[in-house]
Structure 1
Amino acid sequence: MPAYILDFLPPSSESLFSQISDLHRIKDWTPEWPGLFGGFADPIDWLALVLMPVIFVLGARKIQIAHMEYPHWRNIDRTALFLGRVTMILILAMASVMLYEVFLRYIFENPTLWANELTLWIAGYVFLFSGLYAMQQRCHIRIFLFYDLVPRWLQHVFDVISTALLVMFTFFLVYGAFYQVFYIKFYKWEMFGTAFDPPIPATVQPMIHIVFVLIAIQAVLNLIADWNLEPEKHGIAADVDEDDLAAIKRGIGEA
């Protein structure tokens, strides 16, 4: 990422430019490779820049909905659904890193310097993307005790108020911390300050704001998509999965 900053948005300050360029040379995986087009980004950087949107578009287009997922999805929900799949892969990657660290630490007594920070880094994205996916799936915790007692038009009012509050919170969150997060943390590419020294502050903090914006947009999309749907029934009986109940009955009968 420092290579992209230096090529596309180079700092006007010579000291900051020198600081980021030195950081790029230290942290780059291929510092000996020359940059393309006279810049800092080498072929791997440009390949990653091209492949990321291609993978995102192809992944979103090939989404297959599982039977336990929210059935009333629309094409505009593909972003949240794709990031939900990415989250599942990240959970597997995080568990693999933790297992590898435990194996090295307790079997060979030779722990790594990077497993803890890498796990923390991945976990940050897991929590963020899970929030967006949960919003699309309508599976955040809600209390329906009073909501189910009122007529449908008043339920719409409650839905509008809750969505407006979320949008308002997101606006003030991004507005209040934009300079701190996107300039001091991201643009200056702040590192974590450990032996592994990953750019957790420079990547996770801006992603918090980006995902909050996506969650707010998804909340508005949910409000529009669910406006004319029949209200859901809540309660113990409504939470029972008929397939699971039938499987239990078959198991009891076979026993």
Structure 2
Amino acid sequence: MQDVPNSHEHDEAPKNRLDRWIIKISHALSLLFIFTVFISFYEVLMRYVFDAPTTWVHETASFVGGSLFVIGGIYAFATDKHVRVVLIYDAVSAKTRRVLNMVHHIVGLAFSLMMAWASYTMTKTAWFTPWGEFRLETSGSYFNPPYPALLKALIFIIFCILSVQFILHIIYEIKSLRSNKDV
């Protein structure tokens, strides 16, 4: 029996330069997972072999892992690996999939813009005091890094990028619907 290619296999290819850029940067950043493994191993070694636990490893590994998780959202969208109801999506025609994509992108754009605004307000309070003085929010631990402020800023940046991604994907779907062909 011959393999029949998936009818929407082309959907998995990046649709624009921003998606290609996100994929390339995300692949490079994924190496930071190895960094977290190494520093976690270092912590275990220091704690249990030398009885000298670190003050920085846990928070640093959590920050790096959390940052990569946030970046994973735009990566999933760029590679078209985001969540969808495939039972319905795979059962409809290519044109209906494009319409479903449009609905998804419009709702997603509204969501990402609202989240960008919410994350902006969180970032603003994490970076500035109520009277406007620059001050990065810290973790409050003995190590006390500014990871909370940095992560909030990253979340804001990611939601801004996600909003641009949705706009570019909407443009792509409009062009696909107008051309009435499988792009």
TM-score by length of 1: 0.57
Q: Name the amino acid aligned to 1:184.
A: T
Alignment pair present for 1:169 and 2:169: no
- Which residue, out of 60, 81, 96, partners 2:38? 96
Encode CA deviations 1:193-239: one digit per residue, 9 max, x unaligned.
001111122110121121122123223334444663738xxxxxxxx
The reply to whether residue 85 of structure 1 matches residue 27 of structure 2 is yes
Contact 1:84 1:129 in 2 (8 A): yes
**In structure 1, distance between residues paired with 2:18 and 2:124:** 31
Q: Which residue matches 2:131?
A: none
User: Is structure 2 residue 86 aligned with structure 1 residue 139?
Assistant: no
Residue 72 (structure 2) pairs with residue 125 (structure 1): no
Letter in 2 for 1:88: S
Aligned pair count reads 161
1:115 aligns with 2:57: yes
- SS of 2:90's equivalent in the other structure is helix
CA contact (8 A) 2:46 2:52 kept: yes
Name the % identity: 24
Unaligned runs of 5+ in 1: 1-69, 232-255
Give 1 or 2 for the bigger CA radius of gyration. Answer: 1
| Structure 2 counterpart of 1:173, one-letter code | M
Cα contact 1:83–1:133 (8 A) shared by 2 = no
Partner residue in 2 for 1:35: none
Q: Which runs of 5+ in 2 are unaligned?
A: 1-11, 129-134
Q: How does 1:64-75 map to 2 (within 5 A)?
A: 70-72=12-14, 74-75=16-17
Q: Distance in 2 between matches of 1:95 and 1:223?
A: 39
Query: Aligned in 2, Cα 1:77/1:178: closer, same or farther, shift over 3 Å?
Result: closer
Which residue number in structure 2 is paired with residue 186 of structure 1? 127
Contact 2:105/2:169 (8 A) holds in 1? no
Name the SS for the 1:195 alignment partner.
coil
Distance 1:222 1:128, change over 3 A: same
Which amino acid in 1 is paired with 2:124? Y
**Separation in 2, partners of 1:151, 1:128:** 33
Q: Name the CA distance, whole Å, in 1 between partners of 2:13 and 2:110.
A: 28
Question: What is the TM-score of this pair, normalised by structure 2?
Answer: 0.76
1:115-152 CA distance string (max 9 Å, x none): 11111111111101122112111112322212233333
Letter in 2 for 1:182: T
Give, in angstroms, the shift of residue 74 of structure 1.
Answer: 4.1
Q: What secondary structure is seen at the aligned counterpart in 1 of 2:81?
A: coil
Greater RCO (CA < 8 Å, at least 6 residues apart): 2
* Partner Cα separation in structure 2 for residue 155 and residue 73 of structure 1: 15
Which residue identity does 1:76 align to in structure 2?
L
